[in-house]
Structure 1
Amino acid sequence: MIVIDGVTRIRGKARILHEVGFTARPGRVTGFLGPNGAGKTSTLRVLLGLDRPQAGTALIDGRPYAAWDRPLTVAGALLDGSGAHRSRSARAHLRWVAASNGLARSRVDEVLEIVGLTAEAGKRAGRFSLGMSRRLGLATALLGDPRVLILDEPVNGLDPAGIRWMRTFLRDSAAGGRTVLLSSHLMGELAETADDVVIIDKGRVVAAGTVAEVTAGHATLEDAFLARTATEGVTW
């Protein structure tokens, strides 16, 4: 489970996050929705201990991410890019990450198969397309077979078949009991995938609930978003 409570993040003189709070529960896909610059990635960076908030807490299964001895076995994350050095092959990158958390080498081939990169395992990351880089990033997130997945714009760069595969994978992950937190600015994709939705704009959570609750009285998630944020002067 992910619990974010009252997180405020200030960068210089700018308040990036304003008392952000929500919960992502096991067995459900929670969509984190907002336009570019709304605060989605900033929130995830605080959750993963990459940035320090001025106030509030962000916990994964009751602890900060950095407090776990083998964090990859608890939460897997996909943020910008694959995280791999351009000169390293996909397999070499995954073996290095696996060793950092004491994971078996055999897991590397398993995750390459899961994400469909077995044939490209020996290719250098610098030669990967954007879609292949996203798959390698997901493989890295899955190395520890974690119970929590934190994914920032995971369909970015994927072709239609890849998007369908990702949607099925996320739904299956939640059905298997994982907590899945998925950030995106693509409302149609979230409507197809998420059980719960958190809408953020200008660093503030403006709506949260099940997809049905958030869209109540509106034809689509996009209509609900626009209605919820109209008073905030949002430009989509």
Structure 2
Amino acid sequence: MITIDRVSKARGRTQILSDITFEARPGRVTGFLGPNGAGKTSTLRILLGLDRAQSGTALVCGRPYRQLKRPLTTVGALLDGSGAHRARTARAHLRWMATSNGLPGSRVEEVLAAVGLTGEAGKRAGRFSLGMSRRLGLAAALLGDPEVLILDEPVNGLDPAGIRWMREFLRSSAEQGRTVLLSSHLMGELGETADDVIVIDKGRIVTQGSLADVTGGHRTLEDAFFALTATEAGAPW
């Protein structure tokens, strides 16, 4: 369970987030949708204890991330890149993470297989394509078998087959009872994946609800978004 309650954040005179409130529930894929610069990553960084809000609370399973005793076993996160040193192999990176978090070494081979990287495990991270780096980052997020997954633009850099694989993986994770929070600026992708949708624009929540509720009478999620955020200047995308 993820709970964001009245979170606000400013940098100087620029308001980044304004009174952000939403929940992501177990057993569901929650899509966090908005254009680049809307505030998605800022919200996730606050949720993961990488940044501080001026006001409000951001909780994972009822606690701030910084108070989790073994965070990797509660929440797995994928933000920018894989997090691996370019000179390390994929397997060495995951073994280091497992050891530092008190996790069994057997989990390394399990997560490599889960994300389809077993055959590439001996390759240095610096030689990975963007799509392979996303898979390695996801493998790291899965090491602790967490009940919550927080993923920022997870299909970035994936080819069509990789996107389909990611979609199926996210659905399977939710069906296993995990809470899955997925941020994206790709409306079509969320329309294929999410159970619930939160739409953010210019640091404010525009609307939220089930995918059916948000799309309403519109043919697609894209149509619904443009109807909600239309301005005289045109579409913000």
Normalising to structure 2: TM-score of the pair? Answer: 0.98
Asked whether the 8 Å contact 2:88–2:125 carries over to 1, the reply is yes
Q: Which amino acid aligns with 2:19?
A: E
Q: Give, in whole Å, the separation in 2 of the partners of 1:70 and 1:35.
A: 33
1:84 deviation in Å? 0.4
- The Cα offsets for residues 167-197 of structure 1, whole Å up to 9 and x where unpaired, read as 0000000001000000000000000000000
1:11 deviation in Å? 1.4
Partner of 2:35: 35
Q: Give, in whole Å, the separation in 2 of the partners of 1:124 and 1:61.
A: 35
Q: Which amino acid aligns with 2:159?
A: D
Aligned pairs for 1:123-202 (under 5 A) are: 123-202=123-202
> Matched residue of 2:151: which SS?
strand
Asked whether the 8 Å contact 2:31–2:183 carries over to 1, the reply is yes
Q: Give, in whole Å, the separation in 2 of the partners of 1:197 and 1:99.
A: 36
Partner of 2:207: 207
Q: Which amino acid aligns with 2:175?
A: A
Aligned residue pairs, count: 236
> Matched residue of 2:230: which SS?
helix
1:84 aligns with 2:115: no
Q: Give, in whole Å, the separation in 1 of the partners of 2:31 and 2:206.
A: 14
1:62 deviation in Å? 0.1
Asked whether the 8 Å contact 2:5–2:57 carries over to 1, the reply is yes
1:116 aligns with 2:113: no
1:101 deviation in Å? 1.4
Q: Give, in whole Å, the separation in 2 of the partners of 1:48 and 1:83.
A: 15
RMSD over equivalenced CA pairs, Å:
1.0
Q: Which amino acid aligns with 2:6?
A: G
- The Cα offsets for residues 26-60 of structure 1, whole Å up to 9 and x where unpaired, read as 00000000000000000000000000000000000
1:153 deviation in Å? 0.4
Q: Give, in whole Å, the separation in 2 of the partners of 1:231 and 1:61.
A: 37
Q: Which amino acid aligns with 1:205?
A: I
Q: Give, in whole Å, the separation in 2 of the partners of 1:224 and 1:74.
A: 34
Query: CA 1:135–1:37 in structure 2 vs 1: closer, same or farther (change >3 Å)?
Result: same
> Matched residue of 1:62: which SS?
coil
Q: Which amino acid aligns with 1:40?
A: K
Partner of 2:236: 235
Q: Which amino acid aligns with 1:166?
A: M
Q: Which amino acid aligns with 2:236?
A: T
Partner of 1:10: 10
Q: Give, in whole Å, the separation in 1 of the partners of 2:34 and 2:236.
A: 11
> Matched residue of 2:180: which SS?
strand
- The Cα offsets for residues 67-124 of structure 1, whole Å up to 9 and x where unpaired, read as 1111000000000000001011101111111122110111001000000000111111
Q: Give, in whole Å, the separation in 2 of the partners of 1:9 and 1:232.
A: 27
Gaps of 5+ in 1: none
Aligned identity (percent) is 76
1:66 deviation in Å? 1.2
Partner of 1:48: 48
> Matched residue of 1:32: which SS?
strand
Asked whether the 8 Å contact 2:229–2:236 carries over to 1, the reply is no
> Matched residue of 1:44: which SS?
helix
Q: Give, in whole Å, the separation in 1 of the partners of 2:39 and 2:155.
A: 19
1:231 deviation in Å? 5.0
> Matched residue of 1:77: which SS?
strand
Q: Which amino acid aligns with 1:121?
A: A
